Chain A
Amino acid sequence: MQTLLLMGDEAIAQGGLDAGISGIYAYPGTPSTEIMEYVQMSKMAKEGNVFSNWSANEKTAMEAALGMSYAGKRSIVCMKHVGLNVAADPFINSAVTGVNGGMVVAVADDPSMHSSQNEQDSRFYGKFALLPVLEPSSQQEAYEMTYKGFELSEKYQVPVLLRLTTRLAHSRSGVERLERREQNKIRLPEDPRQFVLLPAIARKRYKVLLSHQKGFESESEQSPYNAYFPGQDKSTGFIVCGLAYNYLMENFVNRELKNPLLKICQYPLPRKLVEQIASECEQLLVIEDGYPIVEEMLKGFLEKGIKVKGRLDGTLPRDGEMTPDHVANALGFTVNKGKDVPSVVTGRPPSMCKGCSHIDMYNSLNEALEPYGEGRVFSDIGCYTLGALEPFNAINSCVDMGASVTMAKGAADAGLCPSVAVIGDSTFTHSGITGLLDCVNDGSPVTIIISDNSTTAMTGGQTSSGTGRIDEICRGVGADPSHVKVINPLKKYHDQNTEIIKQELEHKGVSVIIAQRECIQTATRKKKEKKK
């Protein structure tokens, strides 16, 4: 069949389309964003009427995907690793309800935190939810695992977690396609109570999930993606997960691999294969691109069994993305590093674009706050987080989406006044609205600045759920209309904007200031498209 040059993300999207998905649900987040974007650009998706709009957040996306599955159709839901925290409630519970149409949950982790707040490993969530996890080691596997993940999902009637990491998500290689499958027809669940998790039903459903565990394990044992390669040198056996397989093999391109090797790309762990390599070898080296989850399981708390080496004993670094060089060091191979980086090379951190509306917002805010001193601005996640850097030094927190509003509230409850939140429009509709409701209900003395550039800029300019309606939403939640102000963050309005912020800082209740001007990148792009 046809070969395509695809990034890991795109391979997942194509795999889903070829498997006959009827919808994809997602909230943007690096490195997962391109899965949805590929479907949105796909002719095949358009012809098949595949639903592909962005959701307000990962939780709403997961629930909508589950609803589509309830109706008998195949759905995929995509997010970055921290998005799964937001969607954890429906995710864990969907394992208990089970699914009807196949459902794949594609989550992209970001070891080394190339663009994230942490490097949590989604495989833990798979284990937590008691679900099968697929972890591709190549673009081809990313494609096939998505395609076959739907079959696995429908066979056991459970969601399947597809876990990838940044490197694969954003790396291109050739992918061969499988035969295209038609979409499912609408078909209600056979058991009308399957999705009703009242305790009495939930207990039964949970037992069903538990009863599948043996089946999941034997699927892993027979999976073509888990493979045992024998070897004569039994001093160390290698267990490699996902991409780590490539990093190990990179070190044996010009060397002979004599040790037994177990490649694991499907979980739960294939017990028989693990037992085999453990019984044959004197010790094990476990290599994973992520947390040492398999290593920890095999080691055991009391370390009574076979000796297990990896990230926990310092054979490999405890944190950060796995690399072929880390593996070479662990194997005792010399790394022929090139010349050192000359000292003239200085860092080049990302920064806000010239003409960005956030810049003018921060200039006004900093000036308005001057009399009160530092340390009272809670911010959030987006381009405006770069306000933490020089020359602005404008914010004091960035924790998780929506936390600016609620942390400002908590600090105000503690007596820090004024207390300011700075949040983007997409982040506000993702998780800020409920926080505003808390503030309104308690009349908290907070000043919430919504820096509204009418897009989700940080991740590349996707549509933002509340565009054009942010002020209405705030009033609808109950913010006093006389303290919902819209300003235009332009240099020429600097003085009057600063004045408005000053006034609202003095207000002893909830104030919302919407600094509204379109993202300079989006605006430029639109202008260019118009010219064409």
Chain B
Amino acid sequence: MKTDIILSGVGGQGIVSIAATIGMAAIRENLYLKQSEVHGMSQRGGAVQSNLRLSDKEIMSDLIPLGGAEMILSVEPMESLRYLPYLSRQGWLVTNTSPYVNIPNYPDIEEVIREVEALPNHVALDADKIAKDTGSARSSNIVMLGAASPFLNLPVESLQEGIRQIFGRKGEDIVNANLKAFEAGRKVAENNK
């Protein structure tokens, strides 16, 4: 078993929490894990990405090879397309459809969504809206984790446990809000799989 995931988004959108949660779940399952990200300049509202690799065998490279990813998991629609060369032809693209517009020349969002929908394997959902509906607008990243969960080869309980560990410091309310967000995202993906 091997799962290579590219996480993408914009600085500050919370892909680090997604990566950390999956990481915790992988450790619980005794899997090998490598998770690489680029810090620094990327904090300032720029594009950010993280390479997350899980396997039951030792992992060599910290970087996912071109065309090697089983999934692109993106919290922003245009950012989901930026890493397509890394997605395997059979891979899944799971993305939020709600754009993060912090540049003057952001493309026509409908054109962006058309590109997403042109892919054979995709799940697209408005995670911002779903997060708001569950009462926790700031949990859209975890909605996306929920939407990705059916494709992750990781038991749901381990991911939920990961959420508890990662958000535990912030109190019971935040943990529950994120568990709810996770469930909401998961449901959308199950219905669209």
A contact set with B: CB distance below 8 Å: 5, 30-31, 33-34, 114-115, 166-168, 170-174, 243, 246-247, 249-250, 253, 323-325, 328, 335-342, 344-353, 383, 386, 458-460
Binds A, one of B100-108, B141-149, B152-160, B172-180: B100-108
Contacts of A346 in B (CB 8 A): 78, 103, 105-107
Of all chain A residues, which has the CB nearest B109?
A344
Interface of A is mostly: loop
Contact B60 A246 (CB under 8 A): yes
**Which of B39, B59, B81 is close to A30, meaning CB atoms less than 8 Å apart?**
B39
Contact A114 B41 (CB under 8 A): yes
**Which of B32, B35, B67, B103 is close to A171, meaning CB atoms less than 8 Å apart?**
B35
Bound-state Cα–Cα, A246 to B64, Å: 11
Bound-state Cα–Cα, A341 to B106, Å: 15
Interface residues on B, range: 35 or more
Contact B84 A168 (CB under 8 A): no
Of all chain A residues, which has the CB nearest B57?
A253
Contact B78 A340 (CB under 8 A): no
The answer, yes or no, to whether B183 is at the interface (CB within 8 Å) is no
Cβ-Cβ contact count across A and B, 8 Å cutoff: 155
12 contacts between A and B (CB under 8 A): A31-B39, A167-B62, A172-B33, A336-B89, A338-B85, A340-B85, A342-B84, A344-B78, A348-B45, A350-B42, A350-B44, A350-B46
**Which of A335, A342, A352 is close to B65, meaning CB atoms less than 8 Å apart?**
A335
Contact B36 A336 (CB under 8 A): no
Contact A114 B40 (CB under 8 A): yes
Contact B44 A341 (CB under 8 A): no
With A339-B84, A348-B10 already in contact, the answer to whether A247 and B38 are too (CB < 8 A) is no
Of all chain B residues, which has the CB nearest A172?
B35
Contact B61 A337 (CB under 8 A): no
The answer, yes or no, to whether B137 is at the interface (CB within 8 Å) is no
**Which of A335, A353, A383, A386 is close to B66, meaning CB atoms less than 8 Å apart?**
A335
Q: How far is the CB of B175 from chain A (nearest CB, A)?
A: 16
Contacts of B79 in A (CB 8 A): 348
Contacts of B27 in A (CB 8 A): 5, 174
B contact set with A: CB distance below 8 Å: 10-11, 23, 27, 32-47, 51, 59-63, 65-69, 78-79, 81-89, 91, 102-103, 105-108, 111-112, 115, 119
Contacts of B89 in A (CB 8 A): 336, 338-339
Contact A338 B91 (CB under 8 A): yes
Bound-state Cα–Cα, A348 to B85, Å: 18
**Which of B32, B45, B47, B66 is close to A174, meaning CB atoms less than 8 Å apart?**
B32
**Which of B41, B42, B66 is close to A338, meaning CB atoms less than 8 Å apart?**
B66
Contacts of B67 in A (CB 8 A): 335-338
Bound-state Cα–Cα, A115 to B39, Å: 8
Contact B63 A350 (CB under 8 A): no
Contacts of A339 in B (CB 8 A): 84-85, 87, 89, 119
Contacts of A337 in B (CB 8 A): 66-67, 85
Contact B43 A253 (CB under 8 A): no
Bound-state Cα–Cα, A36 to B46, Å: 25
Of all chain B residues, which has the CB nearest A349?
B46
Contact A353 B45 (CB under 8 A): yes
Contact B34 A173 (CB under 8 A): yes
Q: How far is the CB of A139 from chain B (nearest CB, A)?
A: 8
With A172-B35, A324-B65, A344-B108 already in contact, the answer to whether A350 and B81 are too (CB < 8 A) is no
Contact B78 A345 (CB under 8 A): yes
Contacts of B47 in A (CB 8 A): 347-348
Contact B65 A348 (CB under 8 A): no
Of all chain A residues, which has the CB nearest B106?
A346
Contact B43 A350 (CB under 8 A): yes
With A338-B66, A345-B107 already in contact, the answer to whether A170 and B78 are too (CB < 8 A) is no
Contacts of B115 in A (CB 8 A): 342, 344
Contact B84 A340 (CB under 8 A): yes
* Max chain A C-beta neighbours (<10 A), residue from B35, B40, B43, B85: B40
Contacts of A246 in B (CB 8 A): 60-62
Bound-state Cα–Cα, A490 to B27, Å: 48
* Max chain A C-beta neighbours (<10 A), residue from B10, B32, B60, B87: B60
